[in-house]
Structure 1
Amino acid sequence: MANYLKLLISAAILGFLIYKVDFAAVTHTILGADLLLLGLALVFLIASQLVAAYRWSLIMGLLSYSHPLIFYVKSYFKGAMFNQVLPTSIGGDAYRVAEVKSQGGRLREAFYGVFIDRIVGLIGLLLITLVANMIDPSLLPTHIYYLVNGLILVAFAGFFVLLALHKLPLLERWSFTKLFFDLSQRFRLVYKTPKRISQQLGLSVLIHLLAMIAIFGIGHSVGINEPLVTYLVLIPPAILLTVLPLSFAGWGLREGALIFLFMSVGIDATLVLAMSILYGILLIFAALPGLVFYVRNKHKIL
């Protein structure tokens, strides 16, 4: 989707929310936020990205790439910068693929590595959501609770199907199905042993927990003093929605989803909008190391 259309969608949703909510109160809430909690939230967001870069490096290592960890850290932050800071049609994942290729990797293998990294990250987020829903099944409205858990189970089923596709050599005959066959083979290589599976899933859960704790801190900085489990239940559906390439860096979609979900448990929309805006701003700050790495890179691919 063209960037101007994404910007238009984000602006339209944010404009509607600002019209419906007392934005003067939102501004007052943002300006009165606890700076210590915001600073800690930024630290947790950066830590989340560092762990994510480490997880990606492990995946690429299993796919026979020998780049040092610092390469993946820099590339991951540069990808985050492209996602959060610059109005570009090249997403962070595409940038990471291109950078691996520029270092001598095959385009398809680079794509597989980034795709696997994304999928295992998604599985980690879904696991957190499922466990949190089991801890407090009464938090979400019944229809949303069953919808979210149903979608999670469908996603898990799709993941296991993908893992099994390498057992169907018939899929190698056609170029379209061969893509999934090859991808399944790479998944099998990465998750060949229980140790690898537990390591990857453990890192994925940790990455999202760090991000959730950051949002928990942001929420408390503006007065949403709910327990952590409330955030673990309500935040993931909003994050999953922002994965869709319908808005600019998730702006608008994230705010709308969070307001809807938090209002369902009685939280004031003013506080939720303030929290979401602060979260978006901190995501930009957390991505700024990527801008530094990109500017200092002597061999830019873009």
Structure 2
Amino acid sequence: MKRLLSIFVSVVILAIIYSRIDLPALAEVFRGSDPLWMAISLGMVVPLTLATGWRLRQLMPRHQDFPLTEATKLTLSASVLNMVLPSKMGELAKAYFISDRGYLPGSLAFSLVVFEKASDLLSLFVWCVFGLLFYPEKETLFWVMTFFVFLGLFFGLLLLSSESFANLFFRRSKAIASGKLYQKLDKLHRSWTEMHNHFWQDKRQLLIIASISIFIWFLHLMQIWFFIFALRASVPFIANLALAPLAIFAGLLPLTFAGVGTRDAALIFFYQPFFDANVGAALGLLCTSRYLLPAIGGLPFFGQYLANLQTAKSNAK
């Protein structure tokens, strides 16, 4: 039911957007695009996927043999689920497959993916804070967003770095939760504690992972900047560092199908000082391709993992 509701919300938002868009003008934006920059920007999906897979490999314990090919296939498989699950929750499926293939115990695999997702989110916050601090034209809205983004970064860093603060947060959250929400928070609390115990043992490795995550998100934001070049528009680099993360955050809200609709509306709204709504809508479609292309590439591997899982279950009976 929730999935149908998110699809409905996406359709409604897109209907509102495209009722105000000149469709022939939108088609003209794509016809007049720069083919070289279009190829470069779309092609960045490949190094981004490899970099994300390499980070997953670096997250593994040093004694664990975990090939880059396996990490890349898992990354692509998660992209399939990210297209249908809210807030990139498909990433958590990697924990199940990592455990199922015998690389790590289930709880440690889950804590590894939780850490990966947390470092991903905080890295996006870092670039958003950096961009907003240097964004030249701050009206009241942007000052408010800067404050809340900085608050989110500070809170996330506290959760990640302080086990006592994390325990306090989870205890207070579970005190007011009930039913399935309590169970989810309890599982996340236990995984978060295991994550702290595992990753803070090697601070050098922790610094490496943080650096990789920040660099990966730099590449993501560069890809969006290159999309703008491909559409023959222009946005200052610092402005893109501030605005692109805000649009991505809008797409992460668990309201729509794979962020479609909210992300498009955010791109049109935030980039309106630099180009019109037709270019903004075109940019929204290209940003959706950032999620669609890896999902298409991951379909064969996802099907393979599911088939192996079903075979293992059949043999266990």
TM category, shorter: 0.7 to 0.9
Q: TM-score, normalised by structure 1?
A: 0.86
Aligned to 2:17: 17
Cα deviation code 1:249-270 (max 9, x no counterpart): 111011011111112x342111
Q: 1:163 to 1:180 in 2, by over 3 A?
A: farther
Q: 1:36 to 1:112 in 2, by over 3 A?
A: same
Aligned to 1:33: 33
Aligned to 1:276: 284
Q: 1:158 to 1:213 in 2, by over 3 A?
A: closer
Moved over 6 A (4+): 167-172
Q: TM-score, normalised by structure 2?
A: 0.82
Please give the alpha-carbon distance, in whole angstroms, between the structure 2 residues aligned to 1:81 and 1:130. Answer: 30
Task: Return the offset for 1:278.
Answer: 1.9
Please give the alpha-carbon distance, in whole angstroms, between the structure 2 residues aligned to 1:188 and 1:40. Answer: 41
Please give the alpha-carbon distance, in whole angstroms, between the structure 2 residues aligned to 1:245 and 1:300. Answer: 30
Secondary structure at 2:257's aligned position in 1?
Answer: coil
Cα deviation code 1:59-83 (max 9, x no counterpart): 2336x75432221110001111232
> How many pairs align?
296
Q: 1:32 to 1:79 in 2, by over 3 A?
A: same
Task: Return the offset for 1:296.
Answer: 5.2
Aligned to 2:193: 184
Please give the alpha-carbon distance, in whole angstroms, between the structure 2 residues aligned to 1:99 and 1:216. Answer: 34
Structure 2 counterpart of 1:226, which letter? V
Q: Which of 265, 268, 283 is residue 256 of structure 1 equivalent to? A: 265
In structure 2, runs of 5+ residues without a counterpart are 175-182, 311-317
Please give the alpha-carbon distance, in whole angstroms, between the structure 1 residues aligned to 2:223 and 2:304. Answer: 29
Please give the alpha-carbon distance, in whole angstroms, between the structure 2 residues aligned to 1:208 and 1:144. Answer: 21
Task: Return the offset for 1:44.
Answer: 1.7
Task: Return the offset for 1:126.
Answer: 1.1
Contact 2:128 2:149 in 1 (8 A): no
Contact 2:107 2:191 in 1 (8 A): no
Q: 1:278 to 1:151 in 2, by over 3 A?
A: closer
Structure 2 counterpart of 1:267, which letter? F
Contact 1:191 1:197 in 2 (8 A): yes
Contact 1:40 1:217 in 2 (8 A): yes
Secondary structure at 1:301's aligned position in 2?
Answer: helix
Structure 2 counterpart of 1:53, which letter? G
Contact 2:131 2:242 in 1 (8 A): yes
Aligned to 2:8: 8
Structure 2 counterpart of 1:247, which letter? T
Structure 2 counterpart of 1:184, which letter? T
Q: Residues 129-168 of structure 1 correspond to what in structure 2 (within 5 A)?
A: 129-136=128-135, 138-165=136-163
Secondary structure at 2:61's aligned position in 1?
Answer: helix
Identity of aligned residues (%): 21
| RMSD over equivalenced CA pairs, Å | 2.9
Aligned to 1:113: 112
Task: Return the offset for 1:178.
Answer: 7.6
Task: Return the offset for 1:107.
Answer: 2.8
